[in-house]
Amino acid sequence: MGGTDSRALATLILLTVIWGLSIPSMKLGLTDVPPATLVTLRYLVAAPVFALVLRRRPLPRPRALAAMAALGLFGVDLGQYAQMAGVGRCPAAVATIITAVIPVLTVLLVALRLGQRLRPVHGAGFALALAGVALAVWQGGAAATPRALDGEALVGLSTLCIAGYYAFGAEVAAREGALATAAWSTIFAALGLLAVAPFTMPAGGWHLTPRVIGVALYLGLLVTVAGMLIWLRALALVPARIAGATQYGQPLVGIAASAALFGDPLGPRFLAGTALVLGGVALSALPRS
């Protein structure tokens, strides 16, 4: 592997850490502000940076803009709000392992959208990942509180929305470019969040603590903007299969951080479920032929 490829791989490993820490970071920010506030702050930080990136690019066609707006409103706003709300209700380690099935759902949605037949190994990967999530989130007995179950359901909804963003966004990106699609969908997401802010913000107001500011900057600048730019550049330098393989470490980073920060229990059942999910993701990433 050449020097350029080695540097690209190193940045992908860094990206794995950045993205892996996103859910523990959300958990920290949600101790001070409600989910809608943190989501809004995240995209108000990211959108102006993406606007600067787009300043010398031509405006996409109206039909493309409409598609990007739909991606921003449904894939980003609904997906990220459901994720934030879910993370606030369930352990961060559990939320992390549920979001690990996003690549599996993306493969499934792309296949359904394009009318492709999945190989048996892909179906096995999907089943394995779902079984792993069920095993990891199963608390046994009465330990699973209704609030935690609600949180896990919301995180599950968010994985479907985010996978839909990737699956349908790929079609738009193929025509308009991945960077333009990511940037415009983020800008539309921020505009949508601003439009509903009067209805989603707490009646008593909220206080911007240093922790909230730090989390919003981390999620907006590093996870959203820098993460996307690093990912797109790396894909231009290394094979997609290698880039995708590095991201298998994201759940491990998030789980380890959740255990360290919040004391989330990592019993044998949870670890076994994590292994099943990672195995399912690996199977779903195999080529179709």
Q: State the pLDDT confidence band at 226, using cuts at 50, 70 and 90.
A: very high
- 247: which DSSP letter? G
Average pLDDT over residues 243-257: 78
pTM given for the model: 0.85
Say if residue 252's pLDDT is above 60.
yes
> What is the Cα–Cα distance from 263 to 243, expressed in whole angstroms?
31
What single-letter DSSP state applies at residue 95? Answer: H
Average pLDDT over residues 71-83: 94
Domain boundaries, the chain: 3-200+224-284
Number of neighbours of residue 240 by Cβ within 10 angstroms = 10
Separation of alpha carbons 74 and 192, rounded Å: 10
pLDDT tens track for 90-103? 888 889 888 888 87
153 against 282, higher pLDDT: 153
Read off the pLDDT of each residue in 15-38 and give the average, rounded to a whole number: 93
The per-residue pLDDT for range 181-198, each reduced to its tens digit, is: 999 999 999 999 999 888
Rg value, the chain, Cα: 19
Query: Could you tell me what percent of the chain has a pLDDT over 90?
Result: 40
- Tell me the CA distances in angstroms from 27 to 24, 70, 200, one per residue in order: 5, 27, 19
Instruction: Quickly tell me which residue has 């998030």 as its tokens.
Output: 254
Distance (Å, whole) CA 142 – CA 157:
23
45-63 in b/e form (b: 16+ CB < 10 A) is bbbebbeebeeeeeebeee
